[in-house]
Amino acid sequence: MKRNSPRGAPDNPRRHAFVLSAVLALWALALWLVGCSPQPVSSQAATGPVIGEGVLAQLEATGEARVIIQLEDTAAALATDAERQTAVAAVQDAVLQALPPDAFQLMRRYDNIPALAGTLTADGLAILKTLPQVTSIQADEPGGATGA
């Protein structure tokens, strides 16, 4: 039996992925419009990921921050769904393996989007700054990508 959304339409994982992709795309566009767009990959390795002010503020206030970690998109533009999911999982795995359990608590792992959401400590932020796969670390505001 399929679950129904509040409006009675059946839940559709592809629709959820599309909506999340659209939200992340709008978020990236908003960052670009305010002058905080991620740097090109070629200069990213030298300077590290873009870190949102909200992340630093949360870390300073509470010692941890709810974040969305945007990762390098290694999937080919015309990759099949399975190829994309494999590429996304590989980059997510590499980042998660570099983080000790007390540095990052995973809340959400996406199938088709090279991103992770969770709670990060200052030690975790220091590690993420050194990883070439990490392009951006932004605060996950309530009602944001994790839905919490």
124: domain CATH number is: 3.30.70.80
Q: Has residue 91 been placed in a domain?
A: yes
Q: Has residue 76 been placed in a domain?
A: yes
The residue segments making up the domain with residue 123 are 37-139
Tokens linked to 66: 């709810």
| Low-confidence residues in the chain, pLDDT < 50 | 32, 36-44
Q: What CA–CA distance (Å, rounded) separates 82 from 60?
A: 40
Give the model's pLDDT for residue 37. Answer: 41
- Give the mean pLDDT of the chain: 81
* Rg from Cα positions in the chain: 16
CA angle 51, 88, 39 (to 5 degrees): 30
Q: Has residue 148 been placed in a domain?
A: no
Q: Has residue 73 been placed in a domain?
A: yes
Q: What total number of domains does the chain contain?
A: 1
pLDDT per residue as tens digits for the range 65-108: 999 999 999 988 888 999 999 999 999 999 999 999 999 999 99
Q: Has residue 23 been placed in a domain?
A: no
